[in-house]
Chains A and B, each alone.
Chain A
Amino acid sequence: MAVSEQAQPVSGAVKGRQRRAREEELLVWPDLVFIEFIAAVLFTITLAILAVMVDAVLLDRANPAVTPNPSKAPWYFLNLQELLLHMHPALAGVIVPTVALIALGAIPYFDTSNEGQGEWLSTPRAWPNLIVGSIVGFVGTMLLIFYDASSHVRLYEWIANPGTSKFLSNGDLNPSFNGWPESLAFLKSLRSIETELNWPDALTSIPVGEKILRTDLLGLPAIPLEINVAKVIVEQIIPVSTMIGLPILLSIVAWKVGLAQTKRDHMILQFSGFIAVFVILTIVGTFFRGEGLELVPYTIYSHG
């Protein structure tokens, strides 16, 4: 292919692809083939050493009657399993990964400019965008996880009660203990918006199947569908607006302060944020979800 390029006359019409200077080129054999060979040898050795030193895990024979606690998906799906704890399962298990993959595939069709090609982070604000995107994604996700694990409640109670414990020695609740204020109980975690507020019955069970979607009038079977507004808000509306709203907010702020000016800047910002979120969700799902998927340190090798 390169040969035919060389043969073409260089005219103004094909200025886009300039003739390569001979002295800037190397022969694939030996210069590239040698590097590939060395890389393959190094990786073979590294993997062999790893395989000799660390055995692949094998637990007891599969037993459908005994559910391990916690049950975990393979590590690269633990980010989704982590999401599952905070939102509707259809959202976390299917819709979010599908949308994420489509968005990933669509990157080149959004960012159609030619700038920054073929060199690491070569556009002017690439590094600041990478760093800001990563930190915001990482810290933001961690804060959201801590919020849903009621860590702020424990932090408040720890600060408000220096030296006193929540329970007396006989196991009763300590009466002088300053707990999280009752009026703010709905802010204990995401779920408490549903459980701690007094939602009227008219909103927690809207009989959509019986009253609105009257399929029985068409001679079809009735749909047994009841909508709980509180549940929908907690499991769907808040997570979706968080996952869409926060990245948009980040982009707007970055644009206003002049951090992200071009499409490539926004792409780097968003992609770095996405990678950071992916990584932190995977880490939390792998190493910090123990029994009952509580937020505690965990390692699978501990029991075997």
Chain B
Amino acid sequence: MSIHATKELQAYWKENLLIIVIHLAIWFFVSFFCGIMIADQLDAYMIGGFPLGFWFANQGSIVIFVILITSYVMLMNKLDKKYDVHEG
């Protein structure tokens, strides 16, 4: 394999890592931060009948987890095509 291809693959891996880090930062923020660490403070705000901190802990973080995986799957499929490593 040429040096060029190697560089390409390293760039692919770097972009992959960046996508992972961004998604896991959001994962951490909605669950550990909003749902636990500052939940009491967020409870001062309401969305509908839900105190906000309680909503993150009981519903919101789960919904956002689903969205995160969906976004990750779509971005990775695009990345695979961009670097031409997708499966036939």
Q: Do A and B bind each other?
A: no
